[in-house]
Amino acid sequence: MSDTFIDESLAKNSYRRDHAQRELDAAREELQALLVSGKANGWSVAEMARLAFISRDTAHRLLRDA
């Protein structure tokens, strides 16, 4: 492999990781907002956690941090 190929590949990989992190951050913020909204509307944290495929501890942490 040439140095140019490796340089370009590393730069592309860095971009992909940065993009993935931004997507993850946005999804986490959306989940947090949904949990807050659900709790305000009387939903059980356990039920929301089950539907979101997260643990109850994670759901409680996200609500606490909101």
Q: What is the pLDDT of residue 45?
A: 98
CA 51 to chain CA mean position, Å = 15
Full-model pTM? 0.83
Q: What is the pLDDT of residue 1?
A: 76
Q: What is the pLDDT of residue 35?
A: 98
The residue among 14, 38, 50 whose CA lies nearest residue 63 is 38
CB 49 within 8 A of CB 56: yes
Per-residue pLDDT of the chain (66 residues; tens, 9 = 90+): 789 999 999 999 999 999 999 999 999 999 999 999 999 999 999 999 999 999 999 999 999 999
- The residue with tokens 């109850």 is 56
Q: What is the pLDDT of residue 2?
A: 87
